[in-house]
C-alpha cells in the first residue's frame, strides 16, 4: 500500500489516494429498524495499523463528518493508547419496539445486565415508552439496570412529564432528554427530587463549548468517531471530570473495536458501555462479530473477511457517493 502521509495535529494525515486505494463500502441490514434506518452503510479503510471505519450518518454535513474521518485516520494510522483492561462490559440496546418484542431483542445480548431503551420516537406517546421500559424491567428483573435515551427529542416540559412517569421503573440515568444545555440545566432543577442522573451525548459532541455541556450533566457519553478519535475523546473525558460511558454509533465490528480501545484506556468505567450494538446488525464484516458474550466484548483489532466484504458491498452508485464524500471531507482536514 502506498503511504504518502504527513504530520497532522501530532499524527499523520494520509492522502486521499491512500484512503480510496483500500476503501470498501458495505451496506449491512439491521435486525430491526433503528434510528429510522434498516440498512447501515460504512466505508472501511486499511491503514498501517490495521482496518478502520468512516461511517458518519448520511444526513451529516461534511464539517461534522470530518471528525469521523479524523477518527478513522487516527485508528488506522496510529497505534491506540495502551489498554488498561482486555474486555468491556456492555449494555443491551432496545429500539422503539412494541413491548411484546422486548424479550427477543434482549436475547441478542446474552449476559448483559444493563439495557438502554430508546424513547421519544416520533409519533410515540409517553405511555408507550413506559410500557416498553416495563417490559425490559420484567425481563431483566429487579437487579437489572435500565437507562433511557431520548436523543434530544423532548422539550423541558415533555422531559419532566416523561421522567416522572418513567421514574417508577428505577432508571439508571436518562440520556440526552433535551437538545440544549440550558434545557438540561432547567430539567435537572425541576427533577431534582427524582434523583435520576442526566447524561449528555449530542450536547457535548455537537457543542462549541463541550465543557459547559458536561457541567450540565451527571454522566458524559463519549464516542470515538464523532469526537475525532480515541485520543481526542479520551482527553475530553478526562477534562470533563464526570463518569464516562463509551458508546457507539451503530458501527460495524471495525468501528466497535475503535470504541473498545477508547473504553479500555479510560482509568475508570463505572457504567456498562454502549458498544454491544453489533447485535443490532443482521450482518457484519468479520467472521466473529463483536457481539456481547457474557455481557462483554473483547478489546483488540479485527480484520474484515474478504468474503463478507464482497457479500455486503454497496452498489456502484453508493460506493461512488462515499468516495466523493471522502474526497470532500478529507480536504477539510488540510
- What's domain 5-80+307-332's architecture? 2-Layer Sandwich (3.30)
Q: Would you kindly state where each structural domain of the chain is located, as residue ranges?
A: 5-80+307-332, 87-304
* 192 catalytic residue (yes or no): no
pLDDT for residue 121 is more than 50? yes
- Beta pairing class for 5-8 and 171-175: unpaired
- For 112, residues 6+ apart whose C-beta sits below 8 A from its C-beta are 90, 91, 92, 106, 272, 276, 292, 295
Q: Which of 116, 192, 223, 313 is catalytic?
A: 223
Asked, colleague to colleague, whether 5-80+307-332 and 87-304 share their fold, the answer is no
State the average pLDDT over residues 157-183: 96
Pick the CATH number of 87-304 from 3.40.190.170, 3.20.20.120, 3.40.640.10, 3.90.1150.10: 3.20.20.120
Residue 101 marked in a binding site: no
DSSP per-residue letters across 20-65: HHH-EEEEEEEEEEETTEEEEEEEEEEETTEEEEE---TTS-HHHH
Query: What rounded mean pLDDT belongs to the chain?
Result: 94
In tens, the pLDDT along 82-96 reads: 999 999 999 999 999
Residue 149 marked in a binding site: yes
Cell 424479550 belongs to which residue? 103
In tens, the pLDDT along 7-64 reads: 444 567 999 999 999 999 999 999 988 888 999 999 999 999 999 999 999 999 999 9
In tens, the pLDDT along 185-241 reads: 999 999 999 999 999 999 888 877 788 888 889 999 999 999 999 999 999 999 998
Predicted confidence at residue 11, as pLDDT, reads: 67
Percent of the chain with pLDDT over 90: 89
* 313 catalytic residue (yes or no): no
Query: What are the backbone dihedrals phi and psi of residue 117, each rounded to the nearest 5 degrees, phi first?
Result: -110, 125
State the average pLDDT over residues 86-110: 97
Cell 474484515 belongs to which residue? 304
Q: Provide the CA 49 distance to its chain's centre, in angstroms.
A: 22
Predicted confidence at residue 36, as pLDDT, reads: 85
Amino acid at each position: 500500500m502506498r503511504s504518502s502521509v504527513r504530520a497532522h495535529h501530532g499524527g499523520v494525515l494520509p492522502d486521499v489516494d491512500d484512503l480510496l486505494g483500500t476503501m470498501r463500502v458495505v451496506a449491512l441490514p439491521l435486525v430491526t429498524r433503528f434510528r429510522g434506518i434498516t440498512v447501515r452503510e460504512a466505508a472501511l479503510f486499511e491503514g498501517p495499523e490495521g482496518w478502520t471505519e468512516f461511517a458518519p450518518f448520511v444526513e451529516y454535513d461534511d464539517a461534522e463528518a470530518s471528525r469521523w474521518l479524523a477518527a478513522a485516520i487516527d485508528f488506522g494510522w496510529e497505534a491506540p493508547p495502551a489498554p488498561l483492561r482486555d474486555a468491556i462490559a456492555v449494555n443491551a440496546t432496545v429500539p422503539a419496539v412494541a413491548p411484546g418484542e422486548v424479550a427477543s431483542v434482549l436475547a441478542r445480548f446474552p449476559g448483559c445486565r444493563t439495557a438502554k431503551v430508546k424513547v421519544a420516537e416520533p409519533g410515540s406517546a409517553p405511555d408507550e415508552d413506559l410500557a416498553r421500559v416495563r417490559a425490559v424491567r420484567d425481563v431483566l428483573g429487579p437487579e437489572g439496570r435500565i437507562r433511557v435515551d431520548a436523543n434530544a427529542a423532548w422539550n423541558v416540559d415533555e422531559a419532566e412529564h416523561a421522567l416522572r412517569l418513567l421514574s417508577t421503573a428505577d432508571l439508571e440515568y436518562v440520556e440526552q432528554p433535551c437538545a440544549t444545555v440550558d434545557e438540561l440545566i432547567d430539567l435537572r432543577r425541576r427533577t431534582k427530587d427524582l434523583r435520576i442522573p442526566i447524561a449528555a451525548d449530542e450536547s457535548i459532541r455537537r457543542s462549541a463549548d463541550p465543557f459547559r455541556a458536561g457541567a450540565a450533566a451527571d454522566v458524559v457519553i463519549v464516542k470515538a468517531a464523532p469526537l475525532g478519535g480515541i485520543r481526542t475523546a479520551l482527553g475530553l473525558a478526562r477534562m470533563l471530570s464526570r463518569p464516562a460511558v463509551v458508546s457507539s454509533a451503530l458501527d460495524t465490528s471495525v468501528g466497535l473495536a475503535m470504541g473498545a480501545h477508547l473504553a479500555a484506556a479510560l482509568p475508570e468505567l463505572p457504567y456498562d458501555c454502549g458498544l454491544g450494538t453489533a447485535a443490532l446488525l443482521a450482518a457484519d464484516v468479520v467472521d466473529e462479530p463483536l457481539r456481547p458474550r457474557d455481557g462483554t466484548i473483547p478489546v483488540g483489532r479485527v480484520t474484515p473477511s474478504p468474503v463478507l466484504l464482497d457479500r455486503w458491498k454497496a452498489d456502484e452508485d453508493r460506493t461512488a457517493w462515499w468516495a466523493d464524500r471522502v474526497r470532500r471531507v478529507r480536504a477539510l482536514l488540510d
